[in-house]
Amino acid sequence: MTFSVSHPEVRETVRRALEEDIGTGDITSRYTVPADRMASGAFIAREQMVVAGSELLPLIYEIRGGADQIAIEKPSGSPARDGEVIARVHGHARALLECERVALNFLQRLSGVATLAKRYADAVAGTKCKVLDTRKTTPGLRRLEKMAAAAGGVTNHRMGLFDAILIKNNHITAAGGVTAALVDAHAAGVPVEIEVSTRAELEEALAGGATRLLLDNLAPAEAAEWIRYIGGRASVELSGGITVETVRAYAEAGADFVSAGAITHSAVAVDMNFRLQWQ
């Protein structure tokens, strides 16, 4: 997924963020900054990071107004070192100040996701394994966080419950078994994956036409044993508490995919600031 601001969800997310912060207006700037004052500002990295979300800046200033020049120097997916400029803006000082926190909130959060994603992707370099993100995202920010994860180099898993079938243990219980869960799934016309917990479930899933299996909460050695037994009869995804430190071992166990919720639910916002100069 490339970083695009054209989707209506993205525009609405930015609009709500601006409304939440600015409300009826920035009274600090209104009472301290002359209305006709022009200024320039720069978003600056304060640590090494992978940038994500800089494409939101034109949208932020378009919705709020007041900026006449925006230059993105680090598009999403770009590395940035401490002290490097990510983007520059010019316009009415009041408008730049009004948008400062919303812009930084998006950039810091999304760049944090991209930076952690890059660490995961780098950890499995040279293996056949792809790292996947998950649905463990901040409510309301899924599309943006998945864009950020992709900017960091991992592969997006399903966007939601609507675009792929992932049959987990609770679905199997509710359906009445592996075969019952699979019987109509392939008719849906979307990718189908099923979680298996025992060898019996595995054989039943394969007999039912499963081509992608999910194995959860195994140690790397256990995962390798399962993957050898599967022997290429289906592709395999591993999940369950997989960290940057352990992901390489899971990849080397032979997994086709490794999913890590931590990429979005545990990413730490990066350090970045905004510096204003008035004219």
Strand pairing partners for 257?
130, 237
* pLDDT above 90 as % of the chain: 95
Q: Are 152 and 1 in contact (CB under 8 A)?
A: no
- Long-range Cβ contact pairs of 199-204 (< 8 A, separation 24 or more): 199/229, 201/172, 202/226, 202/229, 202/230, 204/177, 204/178, 204/179
Give the CA distances from residue 186 to residues 137, 182, 198, 257, 274, in Å, rounded to whole numbers and listed in that order: 27, 7, 22, 21, 51
* Active site residues per annotation: 101, 136, 168, 195, 216
**Phi and psi at residue 78, to the nearest 5°:** -80, 140
Would you place residue 2 in the very low, low, confident or very high pLDDT band (cuts 50, 70, 90)?
confident
Q: Are 219 and 238 in contact (CB under 8 A)?
A: no
CA distance 269 to 116: 10
- Per-residue model confidence (pLDDT) at position 251: 98
Structural domains in the chain, CATH included, are 8-115+267-278 (3.90.1170.20), 155-259 (3.20.20.70)
Angle between helices 8-22 and 56-64 (to 10 degrees): 60
CA distance 249 to 1: 27
Q: Are 195 and 169 in contact (CB under 8 A)?
A: yes
Looking at every residue in the chain, the average pLDDT score rounds to: 96
Average pLDDT over residues 49-58: 98
pLDDT tens profile 163-178: 999 999 999 999 999 9
- Per-residue model confidence (pLDDT) at position 187: 86
Sequence-separated (6 or more) residues with CB below 8 Å from residue 157: 132, 133, 134, 135, 164, 259
- Per-residue model confidence (pLDDT) at position 278: 86
Would you place residue 263 in the very low, low, confident or very high pLDDT band (cuts 50, 70, 90)?
very high
Tokens representing 84 are 């490097």
**Phi and psi at residue 63, to the nearest 5°:** -65, -40
Tokens representing 10 are 């993205």
Sequence-separated (6 or more) residues with CB below 8 Å from residue 160: 135, 142
Average pLDDT over residues 13-31: 97
CA distance 148 to 52: 5
pLDDT tens profile 60-111: 999 999 899 999 999 999 999 999 999 999 999 999 999 999 999 999 999 9
- Per-residue model confidence (pLDDT) at position 163: 93
> Has residue 241 got a pLDDT over 80?
yes
- Per-residue model confidence (pLDDT) at position 216: 96
Angle in degrees, CA 161, 164, 166, rounded to 5: 80
pLDDT tens profile 205-240: 999 999 999 999 999 999 999 999 999 999 999 999
CA distance 113 to 268: 7
- Mapped onto helix, strand or coil, the DSSP state of residue 225 is helix
